[in-house]
Amino acid sequence: MVVAPGSVLFVTLDSCRYDTFERARVPNMKAIGPLHRAMAPSYFTFGSHAAMFVGFTPGVAERTEPAVNPKYAKLFKLDNAGFPGKGVPSFDLTGPNIIEGFRRRGYLTLGTAATGWFDPSTETGRVLGQSFERFHYPGNLYSLARQLAWVEEQSAQASQPLFVFINVGETHVPYYHAGAPWDRARNPCVPFSKDNDAAECARRQTACVEHVDALLGPLLGRFAQETVLVCADHGDCWGEDGLWEHGIHHPKTLEVPLLLHLRQSRDGGDPR
């Protein structure tokens, strides 16, 4: 894969808690930039991605730093989409969402997503993925290797800049990755269940994000000089206030990791 200047990589670690990411051994992702404890725009996959795809990425409200705080200045700003901000956005785009915005700028837009909210065989699932020029749904939550192979194949002959979006499923319940030494049928985090295990949730999600980091390493290396955003779309509750999983409004479902690298132009300006 040849990554043209100006390309963008956007990765969401589905359901990954901030504390999981903070303690995990994930050298490839932590090399992107400082780790921020951010707040997600929603507490479930569809809502959060719908918001992010119109420029409302996770942010740190206390920081007056572009992209880290999208209220101050967005990474991806659509025309007439919300408060204009005080700083300069990284990418000014037009269209119904940022994917179409990048297409209009001549980017090849590639998307691959593991969670069922992106399943193109359903009417709801088609909504989030329909704007990508090319889209791949692997059919389960533990196929990041296949997703990355697809990205490699689709971008192999591309000469224009890339906008690559990857939704990672391994960090979603039941917290399983290919070859993991536990039974994926045993879910330690089930809403309203009496048989959950917070320690096992933490162990599994940590192992999954470390597995994901190893797989993402080569792709992150190719995008090292470009704009990269890695975050979670939401977190999970592991027994806090008696709650489990996500789809509920709670600090632990909104607290997410955020890592960002902005490509700098030769004169040190913004990446546009």
pLDDT digits 0-9 by tens, 120-158: 999 999 999 999 999 999 999 999 999 999 999 999 989
Alpha carbon separation from 139 to 52, 127, 142 (Å, rounded): 23, 16, 9
The pLDDT of residue 269 is: 39
Contact between 174 and 197 (Cβ < 8 Å)? no
Q: Residue 134 belongs to what domain range?
A: 8-33+96-261
Task: Residue 232: count other Cβ atoms within 10 Å of its Cβ.
Answer: 29
Mean pLDDT taken over the chain: 95
pTM across the whole model: 0.95
Is 142 contained in some domain?
A: yes
Q: Into how many domains does the chain fold?
A: 1
Q: By percentage, how much of the chain surpasses pLDDT 90?
A: 92
Q: In the numeric block, which tokens belong to residue 77?
A: 């700003």
pLDDT digits 0-9 by tens, 45-83: 999 999 999 999 999 999 999 999 999 999 999 987 777
What's 196's domain CATH number? 3.40.720.10
Strand ranges (E), the chain? 8-13, 36-39, 76-78, 91-93, 108-113, 134-136, 162-168, 227-231, 237-238, 244-245, 255-261
Residues 67 and 225: their CA atoms lie apart, in Å, by: 17
Amino acid identity, residue 219? L
pLDDT tier, 271 (very low <50, low <70, confident <90, very high otherwise): low
Is 118 contained in some domain?
A: yes
